[in-house]
Amino acid sequence: ARLTGSAAVPSYPGPHVRFDLALNGLDADRYLPPPSADGGASPAPATPGEAAGAGAAQLPLQPLRTLDVSGELDVGRLRVRGLRLDDLHLALDGRAGRFRLHPLTARLYEGDYQGDVRLDVRRATPRVTLDERLSGVAVGPLLHDAVGKAHLTGDADVEATLTFAGSEPRAMLRSLSGQGRYRLRDGTVAGVDLGRTLRAAYRALGEDGGNRRAAGTRFRELSGSATIKQGRLHSDDLTLDAEVMDLTGKGHLDLAESRVDYRLQGTIPDDAAIKELRGLNVPVRITGPVSDPKVRVDLATALEQRASEALEKEREKAQKRLDEQLQEKKEDLKKRLEDKARELFKF
């Protein structure tokens, strides 16, 4: 690694620190402590802002409260907690226990990142506020490097405003709150094969068709908004435009426990392979750990509903035919009575 630039401490105590530095590249993971031996490592931050905020919150608080710092840093290539960044630029300014990283920009997995990070260490528990934007980021490689497995792939646009508190990673995650929007294009939901589950449910006439070793579900677009409260992400407007069916619905993702629970309504396309299912509206439930979710398709209820609707339509048609026949008979009887009256009264 080659570091160039300038740094100064114009006054001490305080201290006052000023810097303007450029680093060609660094693998920070070579210098960070390894994961705990008990395997209880926390999920890695997925963005530069989350990594910077989480890292700063773990620094000794008292020296931070007396620090006066201002400067800029450019890094050509950086690897930290598995996350790979290029062309990182940050400007840091802070004093009296409050710090801001802005602008914070980077190239991130074929896309762009923009962040605004604020750290407040004036109280006993440090607090971090994030305002982040990701554009065109390849989610699969990012998740693979951050958490070891790509549960989701696709090109993502994400906007989020988040806060968390504490100095221990899992406590930070459990305190995470905020809101955001997301849109992924041309990707896969790994471990959830809706097509195979649908076929299994059809064969079983509504029995549990869960598929725990599914390859995945391809989609054209996955989008929605989210509200995060105490590490629990809730979405009321999830939409999935997939090849096997379109889904809408709501549910939640527990970030600390990495578990999901979504209740969705699927619409099977009119060109589906199974003719009897074309156009059918199907309840779908996704629950369990993110790494191995269980999918249930309530096909029996959907087919019963379709049969009930078809029966109701036939009843309405029969009633309409009966009403028409009755009306015809009434009109015929009326005509005969009129003819008889003319015959009797000679008019």
Q: Which residue has the higher pLDDT, 141 or 335?
A: 141
pLDDT at 311: 62
Q: In sequence order, what are the residues at sequence separation of 6 or more whose Cβ sits closer than 8 angstroms to the Cβ of residue 218? A: 187, 188, 242, 243
**164 bridge partner residues:** 128
CB 192 within 8 A of CB 292: no
pLDDT at 308: 63
Q: What is the pLDDT of residues 32-58, one digit of tens each?
A: 777 655 444 455 667 888 888 877 777
Mean pLDDT on 66-88: 93
CB 251 within 8 A of CB 290: no
Instruction: Calculate what percentage of the chain has a pLDDT beyond 70.
Output: 89
d(CA 213, CA 190): 10
d(CA 187, CA 203): 28
pLDDT bracket for residue 312 (50, 70, 90)? low
pLDDT at 211: 46
Torsion of CA 97, 103, 107, 108, to 10 degrees: 40
pLDDT(326) > 90 = no
What is the number of alpha carbons within 13 Å of residue 256 lying toward its C-beta?
Answer: 16
Q: In sequence order, what are the residues at sequence separation of 6 or more whose Cβ sits closer than 8 angstroms to the Cβ of residue 211? A: 193, 196, 197, 200, 295
State the residue for tokens 């899992």. 170
State the residue for tokens 């459990």. 174
CB 234 within 8 A of CB 257: no
**What is the rounded end-to-end Cα distance, in angstroms, of the chain?**
116
Q: What is the pLDDT of residues 292-305, one digit of tens each?
A: 888 888 877 766 76
State the residue for tokens 């096909």. 299
pLDDT(128) > 80 = yes
**201 bridge partner residues:** none
**223 bridge partner residues:** 183, 239
